[in-house]
Amino acid sequence: MRIATYNVNGVNGRLPVLLRWLALARPDVVCLQELKAPQDKFPEAALREAGYEAIWHGQSRWNGVAILSRSGTLHETRRGLPGDPLDEQSRYIEAAVGGVLVAGLYLPNGNPRPGPKFDFKLRWFERLHAHLAELVALDAPVVIAGDFNVMPTDRDVYVPERWRDDALFAPEVKAAYARLLEQGWTDALRHMHPDETIYTFWKYWRGAFERDAGLRIDHILLNPAAAARLVDADVDRRPRGWEKTSDHAPVWVELAPAARKTRSARRAKSAS
DNA sequence: ATGACACATTATATGTGA
C-alpha cells in the first residue's frame, strides 16, 4: 500500500500536474495540502475520473487539506485538530482506509517570528502532540502525512545558517517536532535514508530546484504498527521539474500488506 | 537586509507562503 503526501499549492491551478502525477505514480492514498480552494470548488469530478475518491476540508484562498484513495473507501474519522474551538483554519483531516488510519496535516508556517503567527504555530504543535498521543499506541497502523513546515535538523536545510531565526527552523519548532518523535513515531523518510541529503521543497526563484537548494519540510510519521510494515519511502522529484508545478514534491511510503492472521492468532484474539 | 515567484480573490492590489 503506497501512501503519499503532496503540497500542491493550489489544487485547481495544479490540477493538470496533479492528474499527471497520479497517473504516473498511482499511489493508493494521497494527502493533499494547500488546496487554496473553498469547499465547493474542489475538483472532485476530475479526481473521480482519474480513479480517486476524496474527502476534503476546503477554505477560501488559504490552507485546505484532502485525502484521496483509489483502492479503498475513505471512512472519515476527524476534520480539524481538536483543542481550540476558535481555530477555523482547514489544516487537519483524518480517515481510515484499507485498515490504516491516515491523517493529512498542514502545519502553520509561523513566520514572522516572533509574533502571533509564530505563537499560533507553537500552540498548533501542542494540540497535535496531545492528539497524536492518542493515536501512536493504536494496534492499527497509523500514518501522519503532510507539510509540517519544519526542517528537523541541519541536514534538512541547504544552508542552515540562513534559516536559524526562521519559523521553520527555530529551536522551539525543532524541539516540538522532536517531542512528537519521542512519542514513538518513526520519520519514515529519514529512517529509510539515514545519511542522505533529502529535500521536499525548493523555492521557485533563483533556480533553486536546479541547484538543489531545498528544504525537507514534508514528512510522513509512522506509529510502531505502521513502522513494522515499512518497505520503502522516498521523494518523487519528477513533478517538481514540470511546468506550472508546485514548489513541493510528493513524498511517499510503501507499507507491506498486513500479515495474514493465523488460525491460532484469530483463536487467541476471539478468546481474549 | 532584500528579493526572487506563484497562488488566491466575486481581484486589477493585497495577503500569504517558506
Of A147, A187, A218, A247, catalytic: A147
Q: Is A156 a catalytic residue?
A: no
Residue A125 to residue A5: CA distance in whole angstroms: 19
H or E, element range at A26 = none
- Tell me the CA distances in angstroms from A16 to A11, A146, A196, A236, A246, one per residue in order: 9, 21, 31, 17, 11
Q: Which nucleotide is nearest to A245 (CA to C1')?
A: B6
Q: Which of A253, A247, A251 is nearest to A17 (CA)?
A: A247
Q: Which nucleotide is nearest to A204 (CA to C1')?
A: B5
Once rounded to an integer, what is the mean pLDDT over residues A33-50? 97
pLDDT of residue A206: 85
CA of A162 to C1' of B16 (A): 21
Average pLDDT score, chain A: 95
Residue A244 to residue A16: CA distance in whole angstroms: 9
CA of A182 to C1' of B6 (A): 36
Is residue A269 pLDDT above 90, yes or no?
Answer: no
Of A106, A156, A199, A218, catalytic: A106
- Specify whether domain A2-271 bears CATH 3.60.10.10: yes
pLDDT of residue A202: 97
Lowest model confidence (mean pLDDT) among A10-14, A182-186, A218-222, A267-271: A267-271
Which three-class secondary structure state does DSSP give residue A30? strand
Q: Is A204 a catalytic residue?
A: no
Lowest model confidence (mean pLDDT) among A107-111, A191-195, A262-266: A262-266
